[in-house]
């Protein structure tokens, strides 16, 4: 099942990224194009065959995992900011790209690098957390490193969840509400990642399933809004246009939606 999720998610992200190339070249919302490109790269680095190949180029010290962490940070930052902007969630925007958000990203980024360098990571192992333990201290460093890697995505997800959840019950076009459901599932799954240490080792596959469901729902949610914008006229609801164009629309009240 994990293999199916991996390749399905990779296919969705790669196809949508390629489909968005023309609009990105026209300067239409390149940040969303960036989300799909980064997500595609992140999934590639999560697959054994590509992870091993890339890490071998980097010295077989699991530096590919460190690269993966920062690719995920970039994906979550771009996706969270763009979605918050589309839903006119000003508080979420401030928390993601304001002083608090920048401080959180800086501290977590420094901690990620520091913990990785302190740990003994020799020997390519996809996921790194399954690396054979050389000592209790090293195992603890690896666990802290993994926890740091989950912290920033969980933070951004917690910032954006109220906006996507609120949109589900608003008087918005059906496609937008379905997209809001998918995005809510995605960010809820991401936020749940902070609880991964509570999942017993024998149920480790559950973590991978949650991660891929999160990425898949994010991709499908963004794709649904984008496809809806392509099928609609220029007078369509501004929230639909927001993920196609570079403007930052406000979500109108029910009176404006009804017109």
User: According to the model, what pLDDT value does residue 240 have?
Assistant: 52
Q: What is the pLDDT of residue 29?
A: 76
Q: Residue ranges of the chain with pLDDT lower than 50? A: 233-236, 246-259
> Range of 54's domain?
2-258
What is the C-alpha separation between 56 and 43, in angstroms, rounded? 18
Domain count, the chain: 1
The pLDDT value recorded for residue 243 is 53
Q: What is the 3-state secondary structure (H, E, C) of the chain?
A: CHHHHHHHHHHHHHHHHHHCHHHHHCCCCHHHHHHHHHHHHHHHHHCHHHHHHHHHHCCCCCHHHHHHHHHHHHHHHHHHHHHHHHCCCHHHHHHHHCHHHHHHHHHHHHHHHHHHHHCCCCCCCCCCCCCCCCCHHHHHHHHHHHHHHHHHHHHHHHHHHHHHHHHHCCCCCHHHHHHHHHHHHHHHHHHHHHHHHHCCHHHHHHHHHHHHHHHHHHHHHHHHHHHHHHHCCCCCCHHHHHCCCCCCCCCCCHHHHHC
Distance from C-alpha of 26 to C-alpha of 102, rounded to nearest angstrom = 29
The reported pLDDT for the residue numbered 253 is 43
Query: Number of C-alpha atoms within 13 angstroms, CB side, residue 188?
Result: 11
**pLDDT of res. 254:** 36
Q: How far is CA 119 from the centre of its chain?
A: 26
- pLDDT on residue 245: 53
Say how far apart CA 1 and CA 100 lie, in whole Å.
38
Residues in CB range of 195: below 8 A, 6 or more apart: none
Closest among 12, 159, 10, 142 to 69, alpha carbons compared: 142
pLDDT of the residue at 217: 93
pLDDT at 248: 40
pTM confidence score: 0.84
- Identify the pLDDT of residue 53: 94
């Amino acid at each position: 099942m994990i293999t199916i999720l991996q390749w399905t998610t990779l296919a969705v992200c790669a196809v949508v990224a390629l489909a968005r190339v023309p609009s990105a070249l026209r300067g239409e919302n390149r940040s969303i194009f960036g989300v799909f490109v980064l997500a595609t790269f992140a999934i590639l680095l999560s697959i054994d065959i590509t992870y091993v190949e890339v890490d071998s180029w980097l010295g077989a010290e699991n530096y590919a995992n460190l690269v993966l962490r920062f690719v995920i940070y970039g994906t979550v930052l771009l996706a969270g900011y763009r979605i918050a902007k589309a839903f006119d969630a000003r508080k979420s925007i401030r928390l993601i790209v304001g002083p608090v958000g920048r401080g959180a990203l800086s501290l977590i980024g420094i901690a990620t690098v520091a913990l990785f360098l302190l740990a003994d990571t020799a020997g390519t192992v996809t996921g790194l957390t399954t690396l054979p333990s050389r000592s209790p201290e090293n195992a603890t460093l690896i666990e802290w490193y993994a926890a740091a890697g989950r912290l920033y995505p969980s933070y951004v997800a917690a910032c954006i969840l109220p906006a996507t959840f609120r949109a589900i019950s608003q008087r918005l076009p059906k496609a937008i509400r379905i997209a809001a459901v998918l995005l809510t599932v995605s960010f809820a799954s991401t936020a749940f990642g902070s609880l991964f240490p509570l999942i017993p080792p024998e149920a480790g596959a559950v973590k991978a399933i949650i991660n891929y469901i999160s990425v898949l729902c994010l991709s499908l949610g963004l794709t649904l809004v984008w496809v809806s914008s392509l099928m609609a006229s220029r007078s369509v609801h501004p929230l639909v246009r927001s993920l196609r164009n570079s403007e930052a629309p406000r979500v109108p009240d029910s009176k404006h939606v009804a017109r």
